[in-house]
Amino acid sequence: MEIRQIKADYPFDLLLEADPNRDLVTDYAERGEVFQLQTEAGERIGVYILLQTRPETSEIVNIAVEERQRGKGYAKQMILDAKMRAGKSGSRTLEIGTGNSSIMQLALYQRCGFRITHVEPDFFRKHYEEPIFENGLECRDMIRLQIDL
């Protein structure tokens, strides 16, 4: 497995699974750095976008793993890679956000050392045209987490 930066032909099919707002995802990809986890044969396993949001702060603004590859530790591998890259770029803090209904993601981020810092109420109702449902819950609030590097 290798993680490499990609600068064109972003895998929007996979990125939009993590965030259905194409305009936001396009903006993130253009302003940030897109990294792809792939096999030695070039098969895509996952992707993430790392964005410097403030001085000394970076954020994983999108992270997704191919459906058939989920549950194998690849998201954790990409998070560890993002932590390393953010630290090397001078960031002292790495942030990530997810929906209140993203139960598995919340658990994963906390297992990776992230701590919940705050909640942005009704974030998804304000920024997405269509309601999002996951795990039998409406995704309404953005749960913000961070880790010191």
pLDDT recorded at residue 3? 96
pLDDT recorded at residue 127? 87
- Going from the N-terminus, what domains does the chain have, and what CATH number goes with each? 2-148 (3.40.630.30)
Distance of alpha carbon 65 from alpha carbon 15, whole angstroms = 9
Q: What is the pTM of this model?
A: 0.91
pLDDT recorded at residue 146? 97
Given a cut of 70, the residues of the chain with pLDDT beneath it are none
Check the CA dihedral 69-137-144-10 and report its sign: positive
